[in-house]
Structure 1
Amino acid sequence: MNNLKRLGDKISIPIPLDENGYIGRECPQSDCEGYFKIISGTGLKGDPLFHCPYCGYKANQKQFWTKEQIEYAKSFAINQITGALLKDLKSMEFEHRSQGSFGIGISLKVTGKPHAIRYYREKKLETEIVCDRCTLRYAIYGVFAFCPDCGTHNSLQILEKNLELAEKEIVLSTTVQAELSACLIADALENMVSAFDGFGREILRVYASLATAPDKAENLSFQNLIRAQKRIQEIFDFDFAFGLTDSEWELACRCFQKRHLLAHKMGVVDEAYLKLTNDPYAVIGRKIHIDSGEVVTLASSLKKLGAYLTQQLEIKKKGTPSIMKSDHI
């Protein structure tokens, strides 16, 4: 049984990577079982703990093998054992031919194949991310996630990436004719508002348990900054507008209202807009003017506002008193 002995008491099982170097992982929580991928060697070094990017569950990395990988590993091990056993039995084959007219022949023949290996392929995912805190490269379904390595939620990182894309539209608007330029500027504004709304909804979902009314936190919209400001102060007890100066806050609120006109009024100024913004340059019944400079300033303000909102929620999570301010209300 030399071949079987050579296997020893451990079998090394190679886990294949996908074509981009990712290896699959799966949340061990039965009510989640979310599938994601990482590139080994990136991120933290030597940390045995992992976080599910979807539900945030934390456990040893060894608990995050996928069902397909486990079945593959089992079949690989059985393949090695049955293969070695067959080789050992093959070495015991013999054949004694019959002698004479009434001789009896005897032989031993071994047939069969090693146990089949259950190969698998990693799944295709929708978003690839490089964590801006620990540099882990990972892939997920959807957009928002906790970093599997350091546990940082990527909502602020995604916001900043989307704002940067919108800023590129502004740059592009300077290279085309006036009509197309205006469309690009308006589109950049709408994309910035949508990006912040998506970010705000997600970050409040993550921290909803800290709110006095978690259900309201999970359903709060950020398409109207003034309304969002009041709701956050009611259920989280801090003023997130404090992340901006008075002039930055005023411009951001005005830009969000301009986006509302674009989305619901074909960009035509109405009485509600004037009442909410006191815009001295707007005239009821005429199209709203959107300047590229104010959209660029908005991008900067939203990055600051997003960072401040995240910071205050983290402070609240740690139990440190938040900074209050109601000057903007």
Structure 2
Amino acid sequence: MRFRNLESYRSSGAGSDMQLAIPLPRTPDGRVYRYSPNENAHPRHFLLGGRVEGVTLPEAPTPRMTHAPGTPGTICPYSGVKAEDGAFTHPDDIAAAKEVVAHAAAADVAEVFHGMFADLGRKFAGSKFVKIKPGPKPHPKPRPRFARRDLLRDLICDECGRDYGVFAISLFCPDCGAPNIHLHFAREATLVREQVELAGKLDAGADELAYRLLGNAHEDVLTAFEATLKTVYLYKLTTRPADAPEVKPPGNAFQNIERGRKRFSEFDFDPFGALSADALAVLTLNIQKRHVIGHNLGVADAAFAEHATDARLGETVPLVGEDILQFADICKTMIDHIDAWLANGVSPPGHGSLPARPIVAPQAKEPAALTVRQLGKLAVSIGLWVSERSKKGFDDFIAEEDLRKAFPDSTIDDLAFAVAELAKDGYLRTSAVISKRIPRMRTTAELFITFDPHAVKTDPASDVVVIVDLALTKSDTVGVEELHAATGWPLRRFNPAFAYMISQINERRVLGGGTNDYPARGFFLMDEDRVDLKRFADRLRG
């Protein structure tokens, strides 16, 4: 008995000893599904195509290859694990092959039974007692069809020319084993460039949309950069000795340069080692900018306004297409450096190409808007010093002796002039002392509002909005200790913001005296005060 349908898949043998070979279903682009045998190689799925035309394989593997391309065996692109080709068969394809065999076998059985009855019909054709008339020849059901789709990231190995697709960031070519994270990031950089170009083509009236496109492009650079570092780090953990100590999950460690360095120091490697000082400074600024864009709707906070020369507190962070592309170039330099580390020091093809424009570190920014009032450098330095050394953040007395010790290189006349500048602009209250060149000095709320964002990294102009919102939920009388407890802040942070708020309330309703820790014991609120405070907070919110 012959099994014609099954025989069409025969690879060897005959009859009941046939060996069958079922062709794997393919995607519209001609690729087949593959599935890593390594259970820890997430997401395990990938696609494998053919070699692109025009690629000539080298006679011997290149230094970046770990497997001769075109020879038996496949490399898991996510974990680097090598196994026989059959070990990578996708479970869905195994199920599909069983369906194909079952369909062919069922068709063969139907044909055999039809043939048996047809033979009997012919055998008893002249009999008067037995009549056998077979039905029509069975019409086979359509063969099973299996839909396969291509995945997100298409890649062509620049070492062996193999075409493949992966679902997430992969590390190696599945054919030759060469590291390929530089290919991933190069594709990200291409998409970012297309977004920047699209934003530049929008009409003048579409500024908001253009800003959104540029913001997305900027965030995409850092997201890809962070994800790549995390993927490589987790892979290197799997290559450590089995008795190596456990480490905590990385979390968001790679959103910070120093924390990222500390993680990779476990492997005696600095992922930022290929960057110049200027490039590292630009990278640092862009990481800060990404947090502002992603978490603060693009509005500069105190930390970012301190570092960026083109940013002001409370204003939208400017985005320039060329700056985003330079940011991508810097990250690409880093990724190429990491890729070479995975390839035992051999850089990927095309590494070292010059950036589109020279990388220049961002200029250091003068603290706050101090130069607007034309304060001299010594006056600015004194203001920062007073803010940094303050213990309670209001009405501090500054002794002349302490001032002279803190600035020994300045003459008494220079110090007196700088103190006069600070007093003139409302940062200090002074009273003359007949026997001394420098007057008695006490701080004002204005000093901490202006200098705290740069000296102690807190911003009273932002904190006061929180305190106002809390105060407006209270009854007519607001006690300072209750309000302080509601914020959960240290005294040093609370007082400047509290002093800023009570400066907006009619002084007749502020409860002064009775405390050494706070600018006031509390205050009464009338409806007109509530209106004033709400509008004050809304202005600061922008």
- Give the TM-score normalised by the residue count of structure 1: 0.73
**Residues 214 and 309 of structure 1: is their aligned pair in 2 closer, same or farther, counting only changes over 3 Å?**
farther
Aligned to 1:293: 322
Aligned to 1:24: 33
- Which of 197, 203, 227 is residue 226 of structure 2 equivalent to? 197
Amino acid at match of 2:220: N
Q: Unmatched 5+ residue regions in structure 1?
A: 317-329
CA RMSD of aligned residues (A): 4.0
Q: Unmatched 5+ residue regions in structure 2?
A: 8-12, 58-68, 346-542
Q: Are 1:82 and 1:115, in contact at CA under 8 Å, matched by a contact in 2?
A: no
1:122 equivalent in alignment to 2:147 = yes
With 245-254 and 38-47 compared, the bigger mean Cα shift is at: 38-47
Aligned to 1:322: none
Instruction: Please report how far the alpha carbon of residue 253 of structure 1 lies from its aligned counterpart in structure 2 after TM superposition.
Output: 0.9
**Residues 294 and 15 of structure 1: is their aligned pair in 2 closer, same or farther, counting only changes over 3 Å?**
closer
* 1:216-253 alpha-carbon deviations (Å, 9 max, x no partner): 465353222233223323x2222222211111111111
1:2, 1:268 → 2: CA distance? 77
* 1:94-144 alpha-carbon deviations (Å, 9 max, x no partner): 115446xxxx55869799969978724134454141233333333444454
Amino acid at match of 1:240: P
**Residues 125 and 169 of structure 1: is their aligned pair in 2 closer, same or farther, counting only changes over 3 Å?**
closer
- Which of 243, 251, 260 is residue 291 of structure 2 equivalent to? 260
Aligned to 1:75: 102
Aligned to 2:48: 38
Amino acid at match of 2:293: L
Which protein, 1 or 2, shows the higher relative CO under an 8 Å CA cutoff with sep ≥ 6?
1
Aligned to 1:319: none
**Residues 252 and 141 of structure 1: is their aligned pair in 2 closer, same or farther, counting only changes over 3 Å?**
closer
With 156-165 and 122-131 compared, the bigger mean Cα shift is at: 122-131
Q: Are 1:24 and 1:37, in contact at CA under 8 Å, matched by a contact in 2?
A: yes
**Residues 232 and 18 of structure 1: is their aligned pair in 2 closer, same or farther, counting only changes over 3 Å?**
closer
Aligned to 1:170: 196
Aligned to 1:209: 238
2:76, 2:294 → 1: CA distance? 36
1:287, 1:231 → 2: CA distance? 33
SS at match of 1:243: coil
- Give the TM-score normalised by the residue count of structure 2: 0.47
* 1:19-75 alpha-carbon deviations (Å, 9 max, x no partner): 443333344567779444333455986422123445544322233332223303532
Q: Are 2:153 and 2:168, in contact at CA under 8 Å, matched by a contact in 1?
A: no
1:228 equivalent in alignment to 2:256 = no
% identity of equivalent residues: 21
**Residues 125 and 15 of structure 1: is their aligned pair in 2 closer, same or farther, counting only changes over 3 Å?**
closer
- Which of 232, 235, 240 is residue 271 of structure 2 equivalent to? 240
Aligned to 1:131: 156
Aligned to 1:326: none
2:71, 2:171 → 1: CA distance? 19
Larger radius of gyration: 2
Q: Are 2:73 and 2:83, in contact at CA under 8 Å, matched by a contact in 1?
A: yes
SS at match of 2:147: coil
1:64 equivalent in alignment to 2:116 = no
Amino acid at match of 1:190: E
Aligned to 2:344: 315
**Residues 166 and 297 of structure 1: is their aligned pair in 2 closer, same or farther, counting only changes over 3 Å?**
same
Instruction: Please report how far the alpha carbon of residue 89 of structure 1 lies from its aligned counterpart in structure 2 after TM superposition.
Output: 3.8
1:76, 1:95 → 2: CA distance? 32
2:176, 2:150 → 1: CA distance? 21
Instruction: Please report how far the alpha carbon of residue 301 of structure 1 lies from its aligned counterpart in structure 2 after TM superposition.
Output: 0.8
Amino acid at match of 1:64: F
2:168, 2:316 → 1: CA distance? 36
**Residues 48 and 216 of structure 1: is their aligned pair in 2 closer, same or farther, counting only changes over 3 Å?**
same
Q: Are 1:203 and 1:310, in contact at CA under 8 Å, matched by a contact in 2?
A: no
Q: Are 2:51 and 2:161, in contact at CA under 8 Å, matched by a contact in 1?
A: no
Q: Are 1:126 and 1:141, in contact at CA under 8 Å, matched by a contact in 2?
A: yes
Q: Are 2:51 and 2:163, in contact at CA under 8 Å, matched by a contact in 1?
A: no
SS at match of 1:312: helix
SS at match of 1:129: strand
Q: Are 2:155 and 2:183, in contact at CA under 8 Å, matched by a contact in 1?
A: no
Number of aligned residues: 308
Instruction: Please report how far the alpha carbon of residue 297 of structure 1 lies from its aligned counterpart in structure 2 after TM superposition.
Output: 1.5
**Residues 17 and 182 of structure 1: is their aligned pair in 2 closer, same or farther, counting only changes over 3 Å?**
closer
Q: Are 1:71 and 1:118, in contact at CA under 8 Å, matched by a contact in 2?
A: no
With 237-246 and 288-297 compared, the bigger mean Cα shift is at: 288-297
